[in-house]
Amino acid sequence: MHCIVLAGLHLLLYREECVCNPVRYFVIMSMQRSGSGWFETLLNSHMNVSSNGEIMGPSDRRRNASSILETLDRVYNLDWFTSASKNECSAAVGFKWMLNQGVMKYHEDVVDYFKKNGVSTIFLFRKNALRRLVSLLANAYDKEAKPLNGTHKSHVHLPAEAEILAKYKPTINTTRLIPDLKLVERQTARAIEYFNTTRHMVLYYEDLVKNRTKLREVQDFLRLPYRELRSGQVKIHMSPLSEQVANWGDVLKVLKDTSYDKFFRSDYKM
């Protein structure tokens, strides 16, 4: 049994646990180590949100446009069940999609799908791409070394675990540094350009950390009843950048007097 579709609501379904409930679709579009995991745990602390993780990670789900659209159908037909799936009435259902997981390659098909099915896009990026690079390198090291009792953890929930992981100081390839930072800028701008005609909002990790009213804006964007959102994740890299990079002096020399020296001039404190 279906309810009457009202203007502005993407889908109204009859379900035993909530009778008629508007379900809005969203996707968190981001890059690895940009705070998307933390952000998703915040969203999932809302009783009416089910964000299903990084489901486009496996290559078979994104080998071509058809496989991507089939995966989207499973998610938005409410046929995707993960630990994030709620027994309460879901008012917003979505997942996390990294830019290197097929969405850029098949963006035209995805944009058409989003428009047809009323999917809203939440872009989440980091302003400080240098901090993101440190996090990427540290996470890659953790995958190999596994300092936490032989277990790799991309995210931690205990301060003691965060302290252990933060001890590693990566050495940054300064030859590739500026080209890599430029690439991130281009990818970010291109993603927003590709999805500019969809319903979207742009968030930055640093703004979420500094100003929790941003979370109210997200809930307004998804048309959710307001709730205090919480996450059990603990931030790993709390120190200034100068204390987190093994060859910090070399990094300073390369970025000095460039547009990227803002990353250490305006480095935020947690």
Nearest CA to 82 among 119, 42, 54, 123? 54
pLDDT in tens, 195-210: 999 999 999 999 999 8
Give me the pLDDT at residue 3, please.
45
Q: What does the pLDDT read at residue 253?
A: 95
**CATH number of domain containing 177:** 3.40.50
Residue 7 in domain: no
Q: Is residue 165 part of a domain?
A: yes
Q: What is the DSSP letter of 6?
A: P
| Token couple for 218 | 């997200």
Q: Is residue 254 part of a domain?
A: yes
Residue 4 domain-assigned (yes or no): no
Residue 28 scores a pLDDT above 50: yes
Position 97: which residue type?
Answer: W
Residue 27 falls inside a structural domain: yes
Provide the residue range defining the domain that includes 238. 12-265
Residue 6 is assigned to a structural domain of this protein? no
Q: How many domains does one find in the chain?
A: 1
Cross-strand partners of 51: 94
Q: Which amino acid is at 14?
A: Y
Q: What is the per-residue pLDDT across 146-195, written as a single tens digit (0 to 9) for each? A: 777 777 667 776 778 878 788 889 999 999 999 999 999 999 999 999 99
The whole-number average pLDDT for the span 73-80 is: 87
Residue 156 inside a domain? The answer is yes
What local confidence, expressed as pLDDT, does residue 184 receive?
97
Least confident of 1-5, 59-63, 107-111: 1-5
Name the pLDDT band for 1 (thresholds 50, 70, 90): very low
Other C-beta atoms closer than 10 Å to the C-beta of 95 total 23
Residue 21: pLDDT band with limits 50, 70, 90: low
User: What separation in angstroms does the CA of 253 have from each of 181, 184, 248?
Assistant: 15, 20, 9
CA angle 172-174-180, nearest 5°? 85
pLDDT digits (tens, 9 = 90+) for 239-270: 889 999 999 999 999 999 999 998 987 665 54
Distances (CA, A) of 102 to 63, 110, 192: 8, 10, 15
Per-residue pLDDT, 130: 95
pTM of this prediction?
A: 0.86
* In-domain check, residue 270: no
Give the torsion through C-alpha atoms of 176, 179, 185, 189, to 10 deg: -130
Tell me: pLDDT of 133 over 70.
Answer: yes
State how far the Cα of 50 lies from the Cα of 95, in Å rounded to an integer. Answer: 8
Rg of the chain on CA atoms, in Å: 20
pLDDT tens profile 227-245: 999 998 878 887 889 999 9
End-to-end CA distance of the chain: 50
| Contact criterion met (CB below 8 Å) for 237 and 135 | yes
pLDDT band at 9 (very low <50, low <70, confident <90, very high): very low
